[in-house]
A and B are shown apart, each in its own frame.
Chain A
């Protein structure tokens, strides 16, 4: 019952969000702020996680595929395809659901419980459109850049393993990441990231917008936003993978 009413309320909220803004200049004032807050401020975590995971994946793949029958480019190939297909889109989005999702839900939730949203409504402003539309559009715009950045940094992380250890040679690694490259995987990953970006920002905005009570409830809204957007990411990952690669 709760799932049905949540879904219904979410759809109704999105209906209020996706209409033309009352004032485009206010939208374009908010939009760059959201690009910076949701996108650029996520860069440090994307950099750190991508480089380390790229390096760890390279080490793990090399150590677990020390079979002389396997070609030398295996490590690079596996690292690249794992990054392209799953890590830089799905896993990175699960991580960003925690960072960005909780940020959006707590910001809008706090505005709700301090009556700032009521103040907007009383002024005659479509608060859902004014508050949520710039967040969703900014995050959807930024996400492909974050994903491409994550892919590149993950590959660089793997390269560092070749440079700083003797686990794999840089030549073998570079040959592996160039071998049998399928550009469609990048396209598939970017499409997924766009869907996930929409899910993270809209689900978080929904939980924040309908928060009520006090500080504890804002925390609860934030947790619900992260948990539910993560579940939706996994579900849509399955769906999109089946549609695009199946």
Chain B
């Protein structure tokens, strides 16, 4: 479980996160949603430790990140997997080598065991074996996302962060990636935090949703509660399209 308590973050006088508190539960797909510029990416980067917060606490199962030294943060990060918006696969390595990379850095397994684990992860994300030897640039965007998920889970992380996992993907592939993240979260009992503004994802896998509005937490609930909320900003954001307005009406 990750607990964020009264977090504040400013950039050159611009107060981006204002006293944000939230709980990201273990074994659930926790989503941070909000308009562009609302502060959701800053919140996620602050939780991971890529931004140093001005005040507040970020507790990973009781361990407060801002209190940690760099060495301790590095150790904690070995329990973290991350799926980046652009996949962030290493260009110079093949698909298989990308997944093996964290194992080579931080595990004491033999090479055979690492290959076995990498195969397991890649097969778990339904990637065909013929793609294993290819370079990231030789596979599609959807496949790159799968490889990035496989790399993120290679070290059996306790925490999984996904930054806009569906960005640049077609609706069908987006759905597959969402389902994959959801399944992995439940199967391995991971605390998953997804930063997204894809409403399909929110409706599909949002088990714990945090809505950020102008740097403040404006609402927290799940994908069922969201149909019955009277928060104007949230309704404007989630049900912006005609299709989602009709979905809301049907649900009410």
Seen from chain A, the residues whose Cβ lies within 8 Å of a Cβ on chain B are 22-23, 25-26, 110-111, 114-116, 118-119, 121-126
Q: Contact between A124 and B77 (Cβ–Cβ < 8 Å)?
A: yes
- The residue on B at minimum CB distance from A123 is B102
How many A-B pairs fall under 8 Å by CB? 56
Decide yes or no: A115 and B105 within 8 Å by CB, A122-B77, A122-B80, A124-B75 being known contacts.
no
Query: Would you give the shortest CB distance from B190 to chain A, in whole angstroms?
Result: 15
Q: Contact between A116 and B104 (Cβ–Cβ < 8 Å)?
A: no
Verify if B74 is at the interface (C-beta below 8 Å from A).
Answer: yes
Verify if B60 is at the interface (C-beta below 8 Å from A).
Answer: no
Q: Contact between A26 and B78 (Cβ–Cβ < 8 Å)?
A: no
Q: B64-92 interface mask toward A, CB cutoff 8 Å, 1 = contact, 0 = none?
A: 00000000011111101010111011110
- The residue on A at minimum CB distance from B90 is A116
Verify if B243 is at the interface (C-beta below 8 Å from A).
Answer: no
Within 8 A of A (CB), among B170-206: none
Q: Contact between B88 and A114 (Cβ–Cβ < 8 Å)?
A: yes
Decide yes or no: A126 and B74 within 8 Å by CB, A23-B104, A115-B84 being known contacts.
yes
Our pick among A25, A119, A126 for the contact of B88 (Cβ within 8 Å) is A119
- The residue on B at minimum CB distance from A23 is B105
Verify if B250 is at the interface (C-beta below 8 Å from A).
Answer: no
Decide yes or no: A119 and B84 within 8 Å by CB, A124-B75, A126-B74 being known contacts.
yes
Our pick among A23, A121, A126 for the contact of B50 (Cβ within 8 Å) is A121
Q: Contact between A26 and B82 (Cβ–Cβ < 8 Å)?
A: no
Our pick among A26, A114, A124 for the contact of B86 (Cβ within 8 Å) is A114
Name 19 extra pairs, CB < 8 A, besides A122-B50, A122-B161, A124-B80: A23-B105, A26-B104, A111-B91, A114-B91, A115-B84, A115-B85, A116-B90, A116-B91, A118-B50, A119-B84, A121-B50, A122-B77, A123-B77, A123-B78, A123-B106, A124-B75, A124-B76, A124-B77, A124-B78
Question: How many positions in chain B have a CB within 8 Å of any CB in the partner chain?
Answer: 23
Task: Give the residues in chain A near B105, CB-CB below 8 Å.
Answer: 22-23, 26, 123-125
- The residue on A at minimum CB distance from B154 is A123
Compute how far the CA of A23 lies from the CA of B84 in the bound complex, rounded to whole angstroms.
Answer: 24
- The residue on B at minimum CB distance from A122 is B82
Task: Give the residues in chain A near B233, CB-CB below 8 Å.
Answer: none
Compute how far the CA of A122 lies from the CA of B78 in the bound complex, rounded to whole angstroms.
Answer: 8
Verify if B42 is at the interface (C-beta below 8 Å from A).
Answer: no
- The residue on B at minimum CB distance from A33 is B92
Within 8 A of A (CB), among B1-60: 48, 50
Task: Give the residues in chain A near B77, CB-CB below 8 Å.
Answer: 121-124
Task: Give the residues in chain B near A111, CB-CB below 8 Å.
Answer: 90-91
Our pick among B91, B101, B104, B161 for the contact of A25 (Cβ within 8 Å) is B104
- The residue on B at minimum CB distance from A21 is B105
Compute how far the CA of A114 lies from the CA of B148 in the bound complex, rounded to whole angstroms.
Answer: 13
Q: Contact between B86 and A115 (Cβ–Cβ < 8 Å)?
A: yes
Task: Give the residues in chain B near A116, CB-CB below 8 Å.
Answer: 88-91
Q: Contact between A115 and B88 (Cβ–Cβ < 8 Å)?
A: yes
Query: Would you give the shortest CB distance from B245 to chain A, in whole angstroms?
Result: 35
Task: Give the residues in chain B near A123, CB-CB below 8 Å.
Answer: 77-78, 80, 82, 101-102, 105-106
Q: Contact between A118 and B78 (Cβ–Cβ < 8 Å)?
A: no
Compute how far the CA of A115 lies from the CA of B164 in the bound complex, rounded to whole angstroms.
Answer: 13
Compute how far the CA of A23 lies from the CA of B77 in the bound complex, rounded to whole angstroms.
Answer: 16
Query: Can you give 8 contacting A-B residue pairs, CB < 8 Å?
Result: A25-B104, A115-B85, A116-B88, A118-B50, A122-B80, A123-B80, A123-B102, A126-B74
Query: Would you give the shortest CB distance from A89 to chain B, in whole angstroms?
Result: 31
Our pick among A110, A115, A122, A124 for the contact of B106 (Cβ within 8 Å) is A124
Task: Give the residues in chain B near A119, CB-CB below 8 Å.
Answer: 82, 84, 88, 90
Compute how far the CA of A22 lies from the CA of B108 in the bound complex, rounded to whole angstroms.
Answer: 13
Task: Give the residues in chain B near A22, CB-CB below 8 Å.
Answer: 105-106
Compute how far the CA of A22 lies from the CA of B106 in the bound complex, rounded to whole angstroms.
Answer: 9
Task: Give the residues in chain B near A126, CB-CB below 8 Å.
Answer: 74
Compute how far the CA of A96 lies from the CA of B10 in the bound complex, rounded to whole angstroms.
Answer: 42
Q: Contact between B88 and A124 (Cβ–Cβ < 8 Å)?
A: no
Compute how far the CA of A116 lies from the CA of B77 in the bound complex, rounded to whole angstroms.
Answer: 15
Query: Would you give the shortest CB distance from B117 to chain A, in whole angstroms?
Result: 15
Compute how far the CA of A122 lies from the CA of B74 in the bound complex, rounded to whole angstroms.
Answer: 8
Query: Would you give the shortest CB distance from B230 to chain A, in whole angstroms?
Result: 38
Q: Contact between A118 and B102 (Cβ–Cβ < 8 Å)?
A: no
Compute how far the CA of A126 lies from the CA of B77 in the bound complex, rounded to whole angstroms.
Answer: 11
